[in-house]
Amino acid sequence: MDILIVEDEPEIAKLIQMTLEREGFSCYWCRDGLAALQVFQKQQPDVILLDLMLPGLDGLEVCARIRQKPGAKDPYILMLTARGEEIDRVIGLSTGADDYLVKPFSPMELVARVRALLRRTLRHGGQHLTHNTQHFTVDVDQRTATRQLDSGASEPLDLTTLEFNLLATFVSQPGRVWSRTQLIDKLWGNDFFGDERVVDTHVARLRKKIEPDPANPTFVKTVIGVGYKFEDSAIS
């Protein structure tokens, strides 16, 4: 697995790289936002460790640009920040980061977070699973999702790993109300580290790709005080 480290302090970057390479990861490092985007396009890493405060483009802007044009891979992004304020963590998640880690952190915690990100897949016991509803077909084995348009045509959905897993979870049980805790347990299990509101971020991103009007969702409904539910009649 390839990891891109984006950190402007060489001492910290070297420590991170040594820690991860001891665990068998392949790492490369750059120290500013513009260089990070260039390296990302060439190397296509599996995980990006992205410092929030960078010269040139800051981590939030880098994260947003990668999510807009993910390339061949849509990497997991772990935001690194020396700030402890809640607003920074929320902003980081809203731009598309999958998790955050506040400095200073221990090497063991860093490795655990990275391994947790790489294990974020939908577990389905090895059987071939396809979920069909009135408007959606989700093939869990082939990792494909399509939406049926009113014209009768089908439209492939370009989803990130987390968005696909979230949609697959929803369409597997239309009408079920899922709390944030249940969704975290379903998608990440005991590997999850972070704020429950990361679920809201991924739901919002999913809505932008599947809803005719994301501001007034037809399929993924908010259940106030509880969580979310998916409404679309199942056909098989």
Sign of CA dihedral 50, 52, 54, 57: positive
CA distance 189 to 48: 22
Token pair of 68 as six digits:
């807009």
Residues 156-200 pLDDT 10s: 999 887 888 899 999 988 899 999 888 888 777 666 666 777 889
Q: Which of 173, 42, 21 is nearest to 3 (CA)?
A: 21
CA distance 134 to 95: 31
What is the distance between the alpha carbons of residues 214 and 227, in angstroms, rounded to a whole number?
17
- Eight-state DSSP code of residue 63: H
Query: Does residue 38 come out as left (phi exceeding 0), alpha (psi in the -120 to 50 range) or beta?
Result: alpha
Contact 32, 10 (CB under 8 A): no
DSSP annotation of 194 reads: S
pTM across the whole model: 0.58
Looking up tokens 């947003």, which residue turns up?
64
Residue 94 vs residues 29, 87, 90, 138: alpha-carbon distances, Å: 25, 10, 6, 25
**Long-range Cβ pairs for the range 203-212 (8 Å, 24+):** 203/166, 203/228, 205/96, 205/160, 205/163, 206/159, 206/163, 206/166, 206/167, 209/157, 209/158, 209/159, 209/163, 210/136, 210/147, 210/157, 210/167
Give the per-residue pLDDT at 116.
81
Burial of 89 (0-12, 13-18, 19+ CB in 10 A): buried
Q: What CA–CA distance (Å, rounded) separates 36 from 60?
A: 12
Name the stretches of the chain with pLDDT < 50. 122-128, 236
CB 147 within 8 A of CB 157: yes
Secondary structure of residue 176 in the 3-state scheme: coil
Domains of the chain: 2-118 (3.40.50.2300), 130-230 (1.10.10.10)
